[in-house]
């Protein structure tokens, strides 16, 4: 392989998600991107509650709204038929649709509760742990049943 082909390959990789060959515009690419944004948003929020980042009330409240919006979005990007490659979604997502939808709704309910909890002014970190843990629990519950690691 020449240096030039290597460079071309490297550049192609940059445009594909993590060089995994996933088209970012495909349903898989879109839902992965939304899931990643959910992770980044919740990581910063957890960081504030655990003292890794300074607590910033308005920023935390804005992130809660963002997380709540993101929580509505991945589900529409699960197509009728499971992709063959690059997905870590278990076949159960398609076989147990009702259960999957239920866990998706649990997440949406928990992020809505988190938004409500952030409407207190001035917002303090105390009391946000519980609602945040409920959100995390909703992520984990679904991953345990429906995601391959």
Nearest-approach distance from CB 7 to ligand HEC, in angstroms: 26
CA atoms within 13 A on the CB side of 109: 9
Q: Is 138 in the site for ligand HEC (CB under 6 A)?
A: yes
- The answer to whether the beta carbons of residues 22 and 31 sit under 8 Å apart is no
Query: What is the rounded CA–CA span in Å between residue 47 and residue 114?
Result: 16
Query: What is the rounded CA–CA span in Å between residue 2 and residue 100?
Result: 47
Cis peptide before 98 (omega within 30 of 0): no
**From residue 24 to residue 43, what is the string marking binding to ligand HEC with x (rule CB under 6 A)?**
----x--xx--xx-xx--x-
Comparing C-alpha atoms, which of 96, 106, 92, 99 is closest to residue 139? 106
50 to 109, contacts with ligand HEC by CB under 6 A?
Answer: 87-89, 93, 100, 103-104, 107
- The answer to whether the beta carbons of residues 86 and 20 sit under 8 Å apart is yes
Q: Is 139 in the site for ligand HEC (CB under 6 A)?
A: yes
Q: Which stretch binds ligand HEC (CB under 6 A): 7-15, 48-56, 115-123, 139-147?
A: 139-147
Q: Is 142 in the site for ligand HEC (CB under 6 A)?
A: yes
Query: What is the rounded CA–CA span in Å between residue 147 and residue 126?
Result: 32
Q: Is 128 in the site for ligand HEC (CB under 6 A)?
A: no
Nearest-approach distance from CB 84 to ligand HEC, in angstroms: 12
Nearest-approach distance from CB 65 to ligand HEC, in angstroms: 14
Q: Which residues sit at the interface with ligand HEC, rule CB under 6 A?
A: 28, 31-32, 35-36, 38-39, 42, 87-89, 93, 100, 103-104, 107, 135, 138-139, 142-143, 146-147
């Amino acid at each position: 392989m020449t240096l030039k082909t290597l460079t071309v390959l490297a550049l192609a990789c940059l445009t594909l998600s993590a060089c995994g060959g996933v088209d970012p515009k495909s349903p898989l690419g879109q839902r992965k991107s939304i899931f990643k944004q959910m992770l980044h948003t919740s990581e910063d929020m957890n960081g504030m509650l655990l003292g890794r980042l300074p607590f910033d009330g308005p920023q935390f409240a804005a992130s809660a709204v963002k997380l709540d919006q993101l929580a509505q979005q991945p589900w529409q990007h699960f197509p009728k038929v499971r992709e063959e490659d690059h997905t870590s979604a278990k076949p159960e997502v398609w076989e147990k649709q009702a259960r999957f939808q239920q866990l998706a709704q649990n997440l949406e309910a928990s992020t809505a509760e988190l938004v409500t909890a952030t409407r207190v002014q001035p917002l303090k970190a105390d009391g946000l742990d519980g609602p945040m843990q409920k959100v995390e629990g909703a992520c984990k519950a679904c991953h345990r049943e429906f995601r391959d690691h």
